[in-house]
A = this chain, B = another copy of it.
């Protein structure tokens, strides 16, 4: 982790550059996979399971029996933790409901807006070393609350052809009934085109490796929406002398352990603060089982000392971190938080670790990385709905508004647009 003292603004971009992502070569690998799934459906999924997951899958769909068995395998304390997290996430996402909007913009002109669930959604949950049941909660809960008609969850099987019990337990807990044993680009392809087992969906959610990411980008070209562009995870901690260095270090490391392409940034108000944190990072990293990964991530990482709050906030907004932890004196807190305009999710104070939001506080952990916090929101209830507008105009209303429309349409040279009003106004004249 290198240290920068008050870098000038023109250097921020280079100095805090995120690890580069390449997608072009990946597309070459992913495209034939997608084509095969499109053509051969389930047959292709089974073939790829053999090839990539090293397992011969007879039934791609997780059965009721498998789900029942999984429940017995999950430790009670984990079940309780998942149920507690579910409660918090549900509370916070339920409160995100957008009430219907209805108003008369003019006498006789009623405009409305309503949130309507996206019908079919697909949730991708990566496999690999760890079972990401927390992501099942983060995607499945809002999908359910939104009222999506069909929710399919795809996740790769292990070598025995099973899905991790904690994932099955969680998916079942929140009422997802179509759980399919398929991973990688082939899962995304299946949700894009549909197979015998996997329905084609309208929107695909969830993290994944570079193959999954590339497949999601290709799905967009086929008319499927995706949650957001992907990038490696990142955290920025803004700390003054009131921050407890060991806490800050633990937060930086909890991001660094994600992967070697993760980035962690410390913005400190003084060199002293930075040094104390770095010392703690060096101590704590050695204790981690994933220390090799974390150390590599730290190589991409920077501690920046900024001379004042204005400059620090400016740098934070320019970086637009996925996760932003703000540990400043309480009297400064509101001002600093209020001036943040680019961040995915903000964690305030010494007792708010990022992992609270990653798992269980209630906020969503699917957040815009890689600078996308400038222009994208994290996953929320909205992500599973679209907003439809409505209008109803009365005879009186079209008489009020009609002339305005006629003049505007005429000036945009759209005669038929004008006619649609004129014909109604004439009818009302003739029939009054």
CA–CA, A389 and B357, complex, Å: 10
Across the interface, A361 reaches (CB within 8 A) one of B133, B362, B391, namely B391
Chain B residues contacting A358 (CB-CB under 8 Å) are 405, 409, 417
A407 to chain B, nearest CB (A): 4
Q: Verify B343–A408 contact, CB threshold 8 A.
A: no
Task: Report chain B residues within 8 Å CB of A244.
Answer: 427
**Is A17 at the interface (CB under 8 A from chain B)?**
no
Chain B proximity mask over A239-266: 1 for CB below 8 Å, otherwise 0: 0000010110011011011100000000
Known interface pairs A202-B375, A411-B166; A359-B405 also in contact (CB < 8 Å): yes
**Contact among B356, B398, B418 for A405, CB-based, below 8 A:** B356
Could you tell me the distance in whole angstroms from the C-beta of A56 to the nearest C-beta in chain B? 27
Chain A contact residue count (CB 8 A cutoff): 127
| CB-defined contacts of A364 to chain B, threshold 8 Å | 389
Binds B, one of A36-44, A45-53, A58-66, A344-352: A344-352
Contact between chains at A375 and B203 (CB < 8 Å) = yes
Whether the pair B373, A386 counts as a contact (CB closer than 8 A) is yes
B424 touching A247, Cβ below 8 Å: yes
A100-108, A178-186, A208-216, A300-308 - the one binding chain B: A100-108
Report Cα–Cα, A12/B81, bound state, in Å.
Answer: 47
Tell whether A234 is near chain B: CB-to-CB under 8 Å. Answer: no
Report which of B96, B203, B357, B407 forms a contact with A77, defined as CB distance below 8 A.
B407
Q: Which of A3-11, A84-92, A155-163, A190-198 lines the interface with chain B? A: A84-92
Copies, count: 2
Tell me whether A389 and B131 are in contact (CB under 8 A): no
| Known contacts A117-B341, A132-B412, A386-B377, A392 near B81 by CB under 8 Å | no
Interface assignment of A225: CB less than 8 Å from any CB of chain B: yes
Is A397 an interface position by the 8 A CB rule? Answer: yes
Contacting pair B393 A113 (CB below 8 A):
no
Interface string of A129-172 (1 = CB under 8 A from B): 11111100000000000000000000000000000001000000
Instruction: Report B-chain residues with C-beta under 8 Å of the C-beta of A284.
Output: 416, 419
A88 and B117 contact, CB distance less than 8 A: no
Choose among A250, A371, A372, A417 the residue with the greatest number of B CB atoms under 10 Å from its CB: A417
Question: CA–CA, A425 to B164, complex, Å?
Answer: 29
Q: Are A378 and B373 in contact (CB under 8 A)?
A: no
Main secondary structure on A side of the interface with B? mixed
Contact A355 B409 (CB under 8 A): yes
CB distance from A211 to the nearest CB of B (A): 18
Which B residues are CB-close (under 8 A) to A420? 247, 250-251, 253-254, 353-355
Q: Say whether, besides A393-B361, A421-B353, A412 and B81 are in contact (CB < 8 Å).
A: no
Known: A118-B374, A377-B387, A411-B131. A362 touches B105 (CB 8 A): yes
Q: How far is the CB of A255 from chain B (nearest CB, A)?
A: 8
Assuming the A-B contacts A84-B404, A424-B351, are A391 and B356 also in contact, with contact meaning beta carbons closer than 8 angstroms in the complex? yes
The verdict on A395 contacting chain B, using a C-beta distance below 8 Å, is yes
CB distance from A220 to the nearest CB of B (A): 8
Mask: chain A, 362-398; 1 = CB below 8 Å from B; 0 = not: 1110001011111111101010011111111111011
Extra contacts besides A257-B415, A340-B388, A361-B401 (6): CB < 8 Å: A78-B407, A111-B361, A250-B420, A351-B394, A359-B409, A377-B387
Question: 22 pairs across A/B with beta carbons < 8 Å?
Answer: A80-B407, A92-B113, A113-B380, A116-B341, A130-B413, A130-B414, A224-B375, A246-B427, A250-B423, A250-B424, A284-B416, A288-B415, A345-B391, A349-B392, A349-B393, A351-B395, A352-B393, A356-B393, A360-B404, A361-B393, A373-B386, A375-B386
